[in-house]
Amino acid sequence: MADEGATRLRGAGEMHPLLAAAGVLAPWISVLAFWTVLHSAWMTILAYHAMMLLLSWRSIPGVFRGWNGGRFLLAAPLCAAAGPVTWLLLPHIVSTPVETWLPQYGLKGMTLFLMVPYYGLVHPVIEQAHWSRLWGRRRPGPLAVLPFAGYHGLVLSTIMKPFWVAVCVAVLILTGLSWRWMEKRTGGRLLPAATQALADSGIILAAVLRS
């Protein structure tokens, strides 16, 4: 039944191939234009979210369906560990100190503190609504985890040493595949969104505490 529910969620909002291509490129366009060129974290994430909502706003209700408490309890410790692990590793894996890197992209004072709840709570909802439509399709299907993980690597390459960028990209590929599996098993995206929120909140808090 859960697999049927997931199929209905995807089928209700199937993307035209050109829109799917635009969906895959959305974060890359945002990062290249606003992160790499303009050095603005807020402009990057807002442009990215605007493009995702334009393409996938009808998928938002699916983010609030498909809960499984048992699976969440199994995944929660691993996701919750993302914050402490990030905090412990940051001094050793970066090529630029966090306290220098964040202000370079406009994250200081109130703009940094506002990013914590936005990135930790709002971002996972929009991202799950969008990417689940892509990796749930026949094409690009599970291959969509590659551009998903890759755009994170582009951002991380501005602070991390190359080896650790590769490690993070590999972890994100596995994470994306696990979210796809969760959605198929539960018939919705609430479990992936909750686990992403738990991990993202810890990671952004770790960065703030290190700054």
Contact 19, 199 (CB under 8 A): no
Contact 154, 28 (CB under 8 A): yes
What is residue 1's predicted lDDT score, i.e. its pLDDT?
A: 47
What is residue 7's predicted lDDT score, i.e. its pLDDT?
A: 47
What is residue 66's predicted lDDT score, i.e. its pLDDT?
A: 87
Give dist(CA 86, CA 106) in Å, integer.
21
CA angle 196, 202, 204 (to 5 degrees): 95
- Give the torsion sign (CA, 185, 189, 190, 193): positive
Distances (CA, A) of 126 to 52, 95, 151: 7, 30, 16
What is residue 140's predicted lDDT score, i.e. its pLDDT?
A: 60
What is residue 187's predicted lDDT score, i.e. its pLDDT?
A: 86
Give dist(CA 85, CA 95) in Å, integer.
18
Q: What is the pTM of this model?
A: 0.88
What is residue 202's predicted lDDT score, i.e. its pLDDT?
A: 97
Q: Which residues of the chain have pLDDT under 70?
A: 1-15, 136-140
Contact 176, 189 (CB under 8 A): no
What is residue 2's predicted lDDT score, i.e. its pLDDT?
A: 47
Q: How many CB atoms lie within 10 A of CB 49?
A: 20
